Structure 1
Amino acid sequence: MYIYDQYDQTIVDERVTQFREQTRRYLAGELADTEFLPLRLQNGLYIQRFAPMLRVAIPYGMASSKQLRKLAEIARKYDKGYVHFSTRQNVQYNWPQLEQVPDILAELATVQMHAIQTSGNCIRNTTTDQFAGVAADEIVDPRPYCEIIRQWSTFHPEFAFLPRKFKIAVNAAKQDRAAALVHDIGLYLVKNEAGEIGFKVIVGGGLGRTPLIGTVIREFLPEQHLLSYLDAVLRVYNRYGRRDNKYKARIKILVKALGTELFSQKVEAEWEHIKDGATTLTQQEINRVTSHFSVPAYEALPATSQQLAQQLADDPNFNHWYQQNVNAHKVPGYSIVTFSLKPTGVAPGDVTDKQLEAAADLADQYSFGEARVSHQQNLVLADVKQNDLYPLWQAAIQHGFATPNIGLLTDIICCPGGDFCALANAKSIPIAEAIQSRFDDLDYLHDIGELDLNISGCMNACGHHHVGHIGILGVDKKGEEFYQVQVGGNAGSDASLGKILGPSFAKEDVPNVIAKLLTVYVSQRTPEERFIDTYRRIGIKPFKEQVYAKAH
C-alpha cells in the first residue's frame, strides 16, 4: 500500500495544526458558526443529530494492521468503543467531542491517516474494487491510478469549492464491484486492440434525489492523459454546474441538462488546451506510484489444496462459510476472505474496538498485515493461504466475523439513519435488524441466493437503496416513519435503478413485505436465476400484486 513520504506527512501534520487553532478560535467565540462550517467540513467533521461525526479517509479502502489498531485506540479513547464503515470505504466516529477532534486528527497523522476532503464540495475519497490487485477477473491493478487521482485531487486549488460534492470510482475487473456507473465519474480500466492500457470514462452517475446511471463520454482514454482529462471534466462542471440550488448542483444534472453529446464536446474542447501539459502522466511517474503496490512475498503453492478439500468435506459449516465468504485469488494457493460485519442484531458496518484489534492481529497472521474495507461495509483479508482458511475461519467465529452471508439477503448495506443523522427522515438500523432477525435461517438464505438489500434513511441515498435488488427508503408521513420499497436495482456493470412498488409501509410491516417479494421470486424463478434476473424477466407487476393483495 502507499506509504507517505516526508512531503505527505508534512501536509497532514500542518493541517492538524491549522484545524487545532481554528477549533480553539471557534470554541472561544472568535469564529461564528458560518465561518467554522467550511473549516470543519474540510476536515471531515459533521454535526449530526446528537453529536459531531468525524469521517476518516481510507484511500481506496486499504488499511494496515497498524492503522486498524490506531482506529481501535481512538474509538476507545475518544468515542464509544466502536466505528462505522461507510459505502465509500471510509470509517466514521459518531460520538467524538468537538474539542477533542484536533487530538484525534493528530493521532491519525501518526499512522498516515487523515480526514481531509471526506466532506464538503470537493473531490472525495476515490474508491475501487475491494479485491483490487488480487482479483482473478482483473485486467490490471487499479490502485496505483486511485493513488494518482488522490495525489492530484488533494488540495487541488481549482476544485476546492465545487458546485457540489464529487465522487470518483475506478474499476478494473470484469465484474464491477465499485459501483462505478453511479458515480460522478466512473473509470473502467480497459485495454485496446494494441494491448495498451486506458480508461473508459463514464460521467453523470449518482443517486440521491435524482438517481441516474452514468453515460460513456469516451470509450478509450490513454492512461497518460488520465489527469488532464479529469481536469477537463471538472473544469466544465465547475464552470457550468449550478450553484443556486444544491439539489440541482451535481454533475449528473448538468450532463442531463446539456445532453451527453454537448457535455462531451465541451470536455473535449477544454481538454484540447491541456492534454499535453504538465498533468500528462509519464511512464516513470506511473511506475513510481505502482512501486508502492508491490507484490507481497507469496509462496509457491499448488493451485488446489487436498487439506482444504478434506476440511470442506468434513465440516459443512466451514463449507457454507467458504462458499459465501471466500473468493478466488489470482495467485495459486491463495484466497480472498471477506469478514462479515453483518451478524444479526448488529448495525451493518459497525465494528468494536476489540474487533478492530482482532482484525489487525488476523491480518498480521494471515494476510501480510493489510486489510480492505468493502463498498458493502465489510472487511477483507486479501491474501490468505488456502491451508490457512480453516484456522482463520475458527478465529473469525470467535470475533464475530464469520457469518456466512456475504452477498445474501442479510448482508445489508445500511446508512446510520435517524439514530444518528440529522438529515434522515426515518431510522435505518432497526429496519435492518428486523429483516436480519426475520430471515436468520441460513439454509433459507442460501436457497434464496444472491440478493442485494440496501436501506437509506433519506433521499440522499447514503445506503444506495436505488441500486439494491430490493431497496428501502425511509420517508416521513405527517411525523411518522414509513418506508418506501423499490425492486430491480443493481450496482454492477449492468447497473439499473429500482422501481417503486407503490405506497409506503409502516416499519412493522417491512419484514412481511420482504417475505412477499421473496415468495414471488421463489415461485417464478428458473434454477439458474438470481432475484434480479427473475425481476428483469417478469417485471414489477407480479411483485406489486403480491405485496398489495388484500387478505380474504
Structure 2
Amino acid sequence: MYQYTEFDKAFVSARAAEFRDQLGRWQTGQLTEDQFRPLRLQNGWYVQRYAPMLRVAVPYGEINAAQIKVLAKIAREFDTPDAALLAEAQATQDKIAGLAPKLTTNYGHFTTRQNVQFNWIPLDKSADVMELLATVNMHGIQTSGNCIRNTTTDELAGVAVDEVVDPRPYAELIRQWSTLHPEFAHLPRKFKIAITGATEDRAAIGWHDVGLRVTTNAAGEVGFKVLVGGGMGRTPVNGVVIREFLPWQDIMNYLEAVVRVYNRWGRRDNKYKARIKILVKAEGQRYFDEVETEFREIIERDGAPHTLPQAELDRVKAGFVDPALNLPENTDEWLAQAEAALSIEAAKTPAFARWLTRNVRPHRNPQLRAVSLSFKRPGYAPGDATADQLDAAAALVEKFSAGEARVSHTQNLLLPWVRLDQLHALWLEAKALGVAQPNIGLLTDMIACPGGDYCALANARSIPTASAITERYQDLDELEDLGHIDFHISGCINSCGHHHSGHIGILGVDKDGKEWYQVTLGGSDGKDLSGAATPGKVVGPSFSSFEVPDVIEAILNTYKQLRVSTGNGKQEAFIETLRRVGQDPFKAAANAARHPAEEQTA
C-alpha cells in the first residue's frame, strides 16, 4: 500500500488547518454562505436533507487498519446529531407512505466511489474531524465540487489473477497530478476517472468521464486504452475510445489535454448538460480532433511537462510492494496441506463451503486469497458499518490481511492478503461480526445510495426498498439458484446507486409529492458477457413502494421459467436469459404484479 511522503502528510495537515480557518471565518460572519459553500464542498462537506454529510476520500479504495480505526472513532464520537434534530427527521420520515425504518447514527457508509461517508456530523465539529483524519493521512479533498474526483479502480488491483498491469501506481500518479490542479478546480461539472489493468473490467471504466485500461501491446510495451464521455445520470452514455494505445509515459499529458478541452468547451449554462458526455456526444470527432491538437501542443509547445519518467514510476511502484506475510518456502507441500485442511473443514461445515465459493477469490500468489466481507445484511443499509463494526473490521484487517483492505465498488470491504491456512479462522471471526454472508455477486449483494432518507436531491428512498428485498430473499439456496444478478438502486436520476448498470435497476421518481419507482432491466457495468457498459431499459410505468418487492419477485420467477440449461448442471444466468428472450415477458410479469389499489402510474 502506498505510503504518503512527508510532503503529502504536511499537505493534508495544512489543508485541515486551512479548513479550520475557513470554518471559523464563516461562523463569525466573515465569509457568507455563498463564499463558504465551495470551500466546504471541495473538502467533502455537503449539507443534506437533515444534517451535513462528509465524504472521506479513499484513493482507489486502498485503506489500512489504522485509518479504519479513525473512521470508527469519527462514527462513534462525531456522527451523532442533536436529539431534537434526529426526532424531527424521524417524524418526517414516518409520515412518508410505505416502509419507514428508523434513521441510524454513529456509522460510516461505503460508497460506490470507494469512499466513506458520514451523515450526521455537525458543521461546528467539522474542523475537528478533518484534523483527526489528517493524523492518518486522510481527508475529503475533491470528493465533491466541480473538480477531478477520487480515481477509482478494481478492488483486486495488484492481486488479481487476470491482471495484465497493476493499475495502482498509475492511479496514485493521477491522484498527485489532479489534487488541487489550479486549472481544473472549477470545471463545468464534476469529473470522474476509473482505471483497470485486468482483462475483466471490475472498475466499470465505460461509465466514467474518462476510463483507462492499462495493458500491453504486441511488443510488450505498457500503455493505455483511453475512453471518454461515459456517465450515468439523466443521460446514460457509454464511453467511447479516443485512443486505442497511448504509451504510459504520456498519460498525464493526454489527460491534461482531455480535461483542458472539456474545461474550454463544456457547457456552464445548464448543469444538466455540463458533463463531458454531453460535449462528446454533441461534438464527436470534432472533440477528438481538438484533444489530439491540444495534446500535440502540450508536447511540442509546452515541452511535455507531465511526461512520466521511469524513475518516478519506479518510486511510486515501490509503494505497492507485497506486504511481509511470513509465507513458508516449501510452497507445494504447504499448499497441499492447507488445501486438504480447507477441504476437511468445508465438508464438515456447508456454510463455510458456501462462503469459500462466494466470498473468496483467487490470488496471483497461490498461497493467498482475496476475501470479501459482506456489508449487505438484514437490519442495515447496503454499505453501512457501525462504529463497533468498523473497529472489529480493522482488527480483522490487522490480523488476517497485513493491515490492508480495499473499499469495493460494490460497497463491501475486501481483504487482499489472506493466507490460505487462515481462511477458516477468518470466517469464524467474520461470522461472529455478521459480515460473512455468502452472497457476493448474488441478488442481496446489491448497490444502493442513501436515497431520500438522507440526500436532499433524492426523489425517493432507496434504503427501505433495499431492506424489503434483502428480507424477502434470505434463503441462501434460493439466492444460489437465482445466480449472479447485479441489483442496483438509486433514489434519483443522479444515479449514485448506479441503477443504469444493474441487470435489474430501481430508480426513485417523484409523482405529486409521492415516492414511485421505475424498474430497468438489462444494464451492465461492463464485466459480464457483453464486455461493454450498457444502460438498462425501463420496463414500463412506475410502481409504488409497496409494489416493488412483488414486481422484483415476478421478474425473477419469469427468469426461472424461461432460463435454459447450459450443461454440466448449470443454468443460464439472468442477464443471458434476458438478452436471449427480450424484455417483453419480464415487462408483462412486472405489470401483472401491480396491486389492485395502486393502479396510478407515474
TM-score range, shorter chain: over 0.9
Q: What SS does the corresponding residue of 2:66 show, helix, strand or coil?
A: helix
CA contact (8 A) 1:419 1:429 kept: yes
Structure-2 separation of matches of 1:289 and 1:57: 19
Aligned AA (1:538) = V
Structure-2 separation of matches of 1:31 and 1:370: 40
Give CA-to-partner distance per residue, 1:169-208, whole Å, 9 cap, x none. Answer: 0011111111110000000111100001100000000000
Aligned to 1:339: 373
Aligned AA (1:69) = K
Q: What SS does the corresponding residue of 1:475 show, helix, strand or coil?
A: strand
Shift of 1:494: 2.3
CA contact (8 A) 1:208 1:459 kept: yes
2:546 pairs with 1:508: yes
Give CA-to-partner distance per residue, 1:356-410, whole Å, 9 cap, x none. Answer: 1111111111111101100000000011111111110010011111111110000
Q: What SS does the corresponding residue of 2:341 show, helix, strand or coil?
A: helix
Aligned to 1:212: 237
Aligned to 1:121: 146
2:528 pairs with 1:494: no
- The range that moved more, 2-11 or 430-439, is 2-11
Residue in structure 1 matching 2:481, options 427, 447, 456: 447
CA contact (8 A) 2:20 2:127 kept: yes
Structure-1 separation of matches of 2:586 and 2:39: 48
Q: What SS does the corresponding residue of 2:534 show, helix, strand or coil?
A: coil
Residue in structure 2 matching 1:101, options 120, 126, 131: 126
CA contact (8 A) 2:404 2:415 kept: yes
Aligned to 2:261: 236
Shift of 1:550: 7.6
Q: For 1:6-25, list aligned pairs within 5 A.
A: 6-25=6-25
Residue in structure 2 matching 1:330, options 346, 355, 364: 364
Structure-1 separation of matches of 2:38 and 2:281: 29
Aligned to 1:408: 442
Residue in structure 1 matching 2:196, options 171, 192, 203: 171
Aligned to 1:86: 111
User: Which runs of 5 or more residues in structure 2 are unaligned?
Assistant: 80-104, 567-571, 597-602
CA contact (8 A) 1:426 1:474 kept: yes
Give CA-to-partner distance per residue, 1:282-325, whole Å, 9 cap, x none. Answer: 11111010000012234243455111121122211101111111
CA contact (8 A) 2:551 2:593 kept: no
CA contact (8 A) 1:487 1:499 kept: yes
Q: For 1:116-515, list aligned pairs within 5 A.
A: 116-259=141-284, 261-275=285-299, 277-298=304-325, 299=327, 300=329, 301-302=331-332, 303-304=335-336, 305-492=339-526, 493-515=531-553
Structure-2 separation of matches of 1:91 and 1:269: 39
CA contact (8 A) 1:345 1:436 kept: no
User: Which runs of 5 or more residues in structure 1 are unaligned?
Assistant: none
Aligned AA (2:582) = G
Aligned to 1:29: 29
Structure-2 separation of matches of 1:381 and 1:188: 23
Aligned AA (1:513) = V
- The range that moved more, 307-316 or 331-340, is 307-316
Structure-1 separation of matches of 2:117 and 2:581: 40
Q: What SS does the corresponding residue of 1:146 show, helix, strand or coil?
A: helix
CA contact (8 A) 2:224 2:245 kept: yes
TM-score, normalization by structure 2: 0.90
CA contact (8 A) 2:554 2:593 kept: no
Shift of 1:490: 0.6
Shift of 1:30: 2.0
Give CA-to-partner distance per residue, 1:309-365, whole Å, 9 cap, x none. Answer: 211222111011111111110101211100000012210000011111111111111
Structure-2 separation of matches of 1:266 and 1:101: 42
Structure-1 separation of matches of 2:379 and 2:475: 14
Structure 1 segments, 4+ long, off by >4 Å, are none
Shift of 1:542: 1.1
TM-score, normalization by structure 1: 0.98
Q: What SS does the corresponding residue of 2:416 show, helix, strand or coil?
A: strand
CA contact (8 A) 2:253 2:306 kept: yes
CA contact (8 A) 1:414 1:454 kept: yes
Structure-2 separation of matches of 1:432 and 1:365: 32
Structure-1 separation of matches of 2:152 and 2:179: 14
Structure-1 separation of matches of 2:298 and 2:31: 40
Structure-2 separation of matches of 1:435 and 1:392: 28
CA contact (8 A) 1:211 1:497 kept: yes
CA contact (8 A) 1:341 1:401 kept: yes
CA contact (8 A) 2:223 2:247 kept: yes
Shift of 1:527: 2.5
Aligned to 2:68: 68
Measured on the aligned residues, the alpha-carbon RMSD in Å equals: 1.2
